[in-house]
Structure 1
């Protein structure tokens, strides 16, 4: 019955500034509802983000209420630190990894892991770029993507 995620919502303090930020990530503005809510497509007619203008952005961060992970290609992820930095966005430390390159969190015995990089929007909402990556050697430790690929024989 469920085919995917259609929408997710985040609190923002400045709607126009946030629209500009998310357009900079490549999302496409669709419409505003008054001056308190905006919708931007992640994938046209498939999934979007709703940005709610509120004074509640000061709510302490927790991934269950202020986090979105955007699926990207592996090639896109490999270039993500440069891509974000060139746009004026700052990748951030996550799970003990410095934001010098993406890192991988394994799914032991499942044959894959999740490669990712984290960053924040202007209001401190947690964002990440993520993709699934093979794990033919069933690695169990978190590590930087370049090391993961080397140990799994995935480098070209």
Structure 2
């Protein structure tokens, strides 16, 4: 039945500014832009993000609201801090980790490596990839530390 997530939506204050931000992340604008709504393809013809222009952007943040996690490769994640900063975007602290590099959150048999940042309206974004947890590590740590432990 369900084969994946097709779309997600975020509120934005300035649609033109937000379209430029998400295009800089690599999303492709769908030509059917409406007055207060635009869709950008995360993966062409498979997954997209809807941006809704509204004055009600400042809803108090909670992870269940105003949050999108973009799946990336491990190789791209390792370069993500420099990549974001090179585009003028600032990675941010999350779960007590400073944004100097991605960090890892283990979940038993697997783990997630991630880095967090915000869009111009404060919507929470992250780049994330799934990792094997061969060593059954259960402590959160920076990705470079994780990789050293996985080698041992």
Give the Cα separation in 1 of the matches to 2:126 and 2:9. 15
Q: Secondary structure at the match of 1:62?
A: coil
For the residue of structure 1 that corresponds to 2:31, the secondary structure is: strand
Query: What 5-or-longer segments of structure 2 have no aligned partner?
Result: none
What's the offset of the Cα at 1:34?
2.6
Runs of 5+ unmatched residues, structure 1: none
Partner of 1:80: 80
Give 1:46-57 correspondences, 5 Å limit: 46-57=46-57
TM-score, normalised by the number of residues in structure 2: 0.98
1:124 maps to: 122
CA distance in 2 between counterparts of 1:101 and 1:90 reads 12
Aligned mates of 1:94, 1:32 — CA distance in 2: 35
Residues 6-35 of structure 1, C-alpha deviation per residue, up to 9 Å, x if partnerless?
Answer: 000000000000000000000000034432
CA shift at 1:62, angstroms?
Answer: 1.1
- CA separation of 1:32 and 1:17: change in aligned 2, threshold 3 A: farther
TM-score (norm 1): 0.95
In the TM superposition, structure 1's runs of 4+ consecutive aligned residues that sit over 3 Å from their partners are none
Give the number of aligned pairs.
Answer: 152
Aligned-partner Cα distance in 2 for 1:21–1:33: 16
